[in-house]
Structure 1
Amino acid sequence: MTSTAPWSEPVSTALIVFADGTIVEGTGVGLIGTATGEVCFNTAMTGYEEILTDPSYAGQIITFTFPHVGNVGTNEDDIETVNMAQASGVRGCILRADITEPSNWRATRHFDQWLKARGIVGIAGVDTRALTALIRDRGMPNAVIAHDPKGNFDREALKREAAGLRSMAGLDLVPDVTAGQTFTWDETAWQDGSGYGRRDTAQFHVVAVDYGIKRNILRLLASQGCRITVLPASATGEEVLAHNPDGVFLSNGPGDPAETGKYAVPAIREVVEAGVPTFGICLGHQMLGLALGGRTTKMGQGHHGANHPVKDFTTGKVEITSMNHGFALDRDSLPAEVEETHVSLFDGSNCGIRLKDKPVFSVQYHPEASPGPRDSHYLFARFVDLMRARKEAGAGEAPEEAETAAG
């Protein structure tokens, strides 16, 4: 007997079939077909295009708590996937209201057309706040999302498929989103009236390891005067250091950090031991923690939104941040030489660390603010300060200034 959830509406051109057999009905949008993934929720009120092209969402179906998604259309400037031709990592999206015609001067394509082109299966007409409350109570469930304009679904087959899905824990999804080869980057941040620019000169050379890197991270590094070389996630420590970088950036990305860490952590340890200034974000933060002797844990509901308050212990300030992660670094597992620098004011989870004796630091959230508030842009300047201090002191040395510049 089919169990139909109370927050569904009586329209059946799309279904969400959860691993426990619960079925939610709605109106299909986007790609016709089926997709599988872990269902999470995002509380951001803007930036749906950036969210849906964030490689960190690979393997997930996003529930938007804000009811009106798609109303400003889409454009080519707000895509966060570095490879514009690459399929989105996100598997599907769940919406409250039907998609309206775009009403923004920047729009170049209707949201429904964009979803089809990106290969994203969607469903509208769902009580997304009720679904969000369910996720908060029970954790992020696996599900199949299906779209058929004629409403022809084999519900029993979909329930079997959903029940057989693997947990996100233990999955290495980085190979699906990382770059296939080394490339360089020089595009800078967007400026009102002129759009994106190009870096002319560079003071520092940064090697960015791509676990699913976002375009705006690269733009903000370039805007800080950095020449950027991007390496695939499989790069060894020797390959990273062979570029003689002034600094190394460890990017965001999807999946279980402990699984990706099986090949990434040894490389990170080599970089840290070499004394090269290192900055990690999101998955890069988690794997840096693993490299320093910590451990990570799977979160119940994760952090996904653009309104998360975080306290920076080094300044005493509270910043509003953009977050997207389902795993967290366990602060109690960190060795004495690692200092906690940031903490979530929502649930007290770790949001930042630094090494006390090396120019190495990382944060759990997304300071590139795409989408999200710009409170955390200072972290890119903090990274540059570390590289400058090391250069001024002479490569290979670890002066007090370089050790404390992250503080």
Structure 2
Amino acid sequence: MKAYLYLEDGTLVEGEAFGAIKETLSEIVFNTGMTGYQEILTDPSYREQTVVMTYPIVGNYGINKNDFESEDIQVKAFAVREYSVHPSHYECDETLDDFLKSKGIPGIYGIDTRMITKKIRNIGTMKCLLTYDKTSEAMEKINTYSFPKDVARRNALKEKMTFDGNGAKIGLLDLGFKRGILRELLSCGCKVILYPYNTGADEIMSDGLDGFMFSNGPGDPKDNPEIISLAKELFGKMPLFGICLGHQILALALGADTFKMKFGHRGSNHPVINLKSQKVLISSQNHGYEVDGRSLPEGTVKTYENINDGTLEGFDHPGLKIKAVQFHPEEGPGPVDGHEIIAGWINNVKDDEYNA
């Protein structure tokens, strides 16, 4: 069955349909990872987005039981150059096509993903329409679509959950968290309390936590004023850590500014440099917004920088016991270079100290 992808700049791309058959409007972005499509599909930070994979062959190892970052597919639609019909891997449980169909998510393949990626890099992130008939109404539909402001709240945890461990007691706020963050905390021996989006500061502080983490998530950080207020209430009460959206939330709470990037960082091969040690890490990233490093307040220390474009990738505020990184130190998918960052923070929390 033919599928048609319309872009906001008027481009029409013709391909073949796979997955569910469902017309969708969304924001279109690209991911440069060579593997990890299952984690990408299930990453809540991709809500309301059509993801274009730059690697040309996708689906070749199928879908397994282990590589989920959430219960469901989170992307709005999936676009690939070549869909591998017959996957081959010892852990494979189902095909990518069957997985998309079971979750009601449409896909398109047989398209020039390199051309689309170049357009996004040159023009910036755009809106798009995936449909199954050529239509004169495509641009009208695209122009009337706006990216929702509630994506971090969607499908949020309904009540808090506790995961036992013998080490530090860490709270994790669900802004669209990836399971990899929870796995990494548990691998460090932590007892983890997972909190719903709308949890208040009084409840968090009453649980006797050693540290608190703001998770990753989708959308514009400024669309979450209640979480920014929560962060302010927790300043100085316990060590705080932010990942991705959490990094942006903590920066906004400190009085810094954020902005939408031209096309964002999405992939598992982004080099960042530790500004103190000058050590380079290869990082996993997924974000379309960035903290303006020039707007950080006095008392804040820049810790990481993106080697490709010089954007801010991390900061500390020693006086308020805050650490934050824009990239994903827990990977999923990607390299494990950043694991030492979370482990180091946990060690400081357990030792009742804060090492800037």
Q: TM-score range by the shorter chain?
A: over 0.9
The 2-side partners of 1:20 and 1:381 are apart by: 45
The amino acid that maps onto 2:156 is: T
Which aligned segments of 4 or more residues in structure 1 are displaced greater than 4 angstroms?
Answer: none
Give the 3-state SS of the residue equivalent to 2:342 in structure 1.
helix
Match of 2:40 in 1: 51
Amino acid at match of 2:233: E
1:64-143 aligned at under 5 Å gives the runs: 64-81=53-70, 84=71, 87-143=72-128
| Distance of 1:14 and 1:97 partners within structure 2 | 14
2:202 — aligned with what?
Answer: 238
1:8-407 paired onto structure 2 within 5 Å: 13-81=2-70, 84=71, 87-146=72-131, 148=132, 153=133, 155-167=135-147, 171-185=149-163, 201-260=165-224, 262-274=225-237, 276-390=238-352, 402-403=353-354, 405=355, 407=356
Deviation string 1:293-343 (CA, Å, 9 cap, x unpaired) is 101000001000000000012322000000000000001111011111000
Task: Render the CA deviation track for 1:94-121: whole Å, top value 9, x for unaligned.
Answer: 1001332110001000110001112221
Structure 2 counterpart of 1:324, one-letter code: N
The one-letter code of the counterpart of 2:11 is T
The corresponding residue for 1:198 is: none
Of the two, which has the highest radius of gyration?
A: 1
SS of residue in 1 equivalent to 2:136: helix
The C-alpha deviation readout for 1:116-164, integer Å capped at 9, x for no partner, is 1122211001110111111100001001112x4xxxx261233321121
**Kept in 2: contact 1:213–1:252 (CA 8 A):** yes
Aligned 8 A contact 1:211 1:252 in 2: yes
Q: Flag structure 2 segments of 5+ consecutive residues without an equivalent.
A: none
Q: When the two structures are superposed, what TM-score results if normalisation uses the length of structure 1?
A: 0.85
Please state how far the C-alpha of 1:167 moved relative to its aligned partner.
4.5
Contact 1:19 1:164 in 2 (8 A): no
Distance 1:285 1:237 in 2: 18
> Which range moves more in the overlay, 353-362 or 130-139?
353-362
State TM-score, norm by structure 2: 0.97
SS of the residue corresponding to residue 93 of structure 2 reads: coil
Indicate if the aligned counterparts of 1:236 and 1:264 stay in contact, CA closer than 8 A: no
Counterpart residue identity of residue 208, structure 1 = L
- Number of paired residues? 356
Q: Distance in 1 between matches of 2:254 and 2:34?
A: 36
Return the offset for 1:166: 1.3
Q: Partners of 2:91 and 2:192 in 1: how far apart?
A: 29
Greater displacement, 289-298 / 264-273: 264-273
Kept in 2: contact 1:281–1:364 (CA 8 A): yes
Contact 2:22 2:105 in 1 (8 A): no
Q: Is the 8 A contact 1:178 1:213 kept in 2?
A: no
Query: Aligned residues: percent identity?
Result: 37
Deviation at 1:384, TM superposition (A): 0.8
RMSD (Å), alpha carbons: 1.4
